[in-house]
Amino acid sequence: MNLSTKHLFLALFTVLIWGLNFIAIHYGLNGFPPLLLCAVRFGLAALPWVFILPRPKAPVKYIVGYGIFTFVMQFGLLFSGIYMGLSTGLASLVLQVQVFFSMGLAAFFFADKPGIWKICGSLISFAGIGIVAFHMGDSASLIGLVLTVLAALSWSAGNMFSKKVDAESPLSLVVWGNLVAFPFMVGLSFFIEGPERIVSSLQNISLPTVLAILYIVYLSTHVGYGIWGYLLNSYATAAVVPFTLLIPVIGFVSAALILNEPLPFWKIGASIFVMVGLVFNLLEKYILKAARRLKPKVKRTPS
């Protein structure tokens, strides 16, 4: 079922929010170290909303697993990857390989074996990531790439836990997942970044940093996930998920226009590889259906 005009607008609006979120992360990291920025994000995303939204109906271990992988590890690694030199545009692209990690983990844990088109899509997309790795000019950027790939893997692992959780609303799972992540990230920031750096960052907080945090927490998390969950509950997943293909496009364009990031040919080529691979994965059902339609029918002659 195709999206109505109203819901099409909501889908495009959500993708726009998430694409521009990488710009907000960039400005947030100018004022806060990555783990502290994550901790503040998790705290504001969880409180006071956990007192309003009911806890998802699932064993605590699944909610904890979801919070650790989807938030602590994914965003801790993503923010650190950008902080270590990976451009925001490339980060928005590389993170999309979580689709293929999710596919592999689903095959391993749920016996949901991928078809040949999904396997081909994975290979094509990872060729694009290989192009990115080949053009990393310094060790910091390469570390940033590795951390962002691990962030994508963490996101896909979190997806496996979300399959085990029966949340009354998608936003409640996000809020409670952030509550789980908050103390973990506070501890990591304290021991890795140190109390002096934390205090200095909080004392010297700037308006751009505040605005970036507000965007990351309330627009990207609450508004974005709230609308997305509503759309997924209203339509088939295949009708909604392909809109995520626009996220790296928005990420690249916004980074070039707002942050003046260069857009050389190899970035465009890597994007094409990743996007084509995603199309193979997300639209496999339609590709197979079209192939069956084009297959010539063999007429049987009477013997």
Q: What is the pLDDT of residues 20-67, one digit of tens each?
A: 999 999 999 999 999 999 999 999 999 999 999 888 888 889 999 989
Res. 210: pLDDT tops 90 = yes
Mean pLDDT in residue range 91-96: 83
Q: Note the pLDDT of residue 155.
A: 85
Residue whose token pair is 């949340």: 167
Amino acid at 250: I
pLDDT class of 93 with cuts at 50, 70, 90? confident
Mean pLDDT in residue range 187-213: 94
pLDDT class of 237 with cuts at 50, 70, 90? low
Residue of 289 and 161 predicted with greater confidence:
161
Res. 300: pLDDT tops 70 = no
Sequence-distant (6+) residues with CB within 8 A of 23 are 88, 254, 255, 258, 259
Residue 224: exposed, middle, or buried by beta-carbon count in 10 A (0-12, 13-18, 19+)? buried
Q: Are 114 and 52 in contact (CB under 8 A)?
A: no
pLDDT tens digits, one per residue of 140-189: 588 898 999 999 899 888 878 877 776 667 788 889 999 999 999 999 99
Would you state the structure tokens that stand for residue 101, as one six-digit string?
Answer: 């990690």
What is the pTM (predicted TM-score) of this model?
A: 0.81
Residue of 116 and 75 predicted with greater confidence:
75
- Can you name the residues that pair with 57 across neighbouring β-strands? 166
